[in-house]
Amino acid sequence: MCSIGNAAGSERPADVGVANFQFGPHNRWAFSHIREVLTTANIAHDRNHVMELRKSGAFSGDFTIEFQEASQSIVKIAEQQYIDGVYWYCATAKSCTRRITAH
């Protein structure tokens, strides 16, 4: 099994390919070696045009969502699905409170 700790510089998993690179456990290796899996192109980076993402005052380190027909902690889901980060956007706070429950 591939983990974050050994992703950089590790051997390519024998069964990783275009059809499954985005799924665990090989997604961590694949995103560190994306050019070995997909055709890529360089995109210019302008250090003068950077948008910082700020943490909301309503930030919660853990919350519950419906997933696989059960109410589950996002932290538990992330661990089981090999997810390293989640970006959750809601137009208003009221629209989010209907879908998530903060722990």
Which structural domain range is residue 82 located in? Answer: 63-102
Domains held by the chain: number: 2
Q: Two tokens at 35?
A: 């050019």
Distances (CA, A) of 45 to 49, 63, 99, 101: 8, 34, 36, 38
Q: Does residue 46 fall inside a structural domain? A: no
pTM score of the predicted model = 0.45
Q: Does residue 53 fall inside a structural domain? A: no
pLDDT digits (tens, 9 = 90+) for 8-64: 457 889 899 999 998 888 888 898 899 999 999 988 888 888 888 787 777 777 888
Q: Does residue 51 fall inside a structural domain? A: no
What whole-number distance in Å separates Cα of residue 38 and Cα of residue 30?
9
Q: Return all residues near 64 (Cβ < 8 A) that are at least 6 apart.
A: 71, 72, 73, 74, 100, 101, 103
What whole-number distance in Å separates Cα of residue 4 and Cα of residue 9?
11
Q: Is 3 a residue whose pLDDT tops 50?
A: no
The DSSP code sequence of 28-94 is HHHHHSGGGTS--------TTS-------TT--S-EEEEETTEEEEHHHHHHHHT--------SSHH
Q: Does residue 15 fall inside a structural domain? A: yes
Eight-class DSSP state of 95: H
How many residues appear in the chain?
103
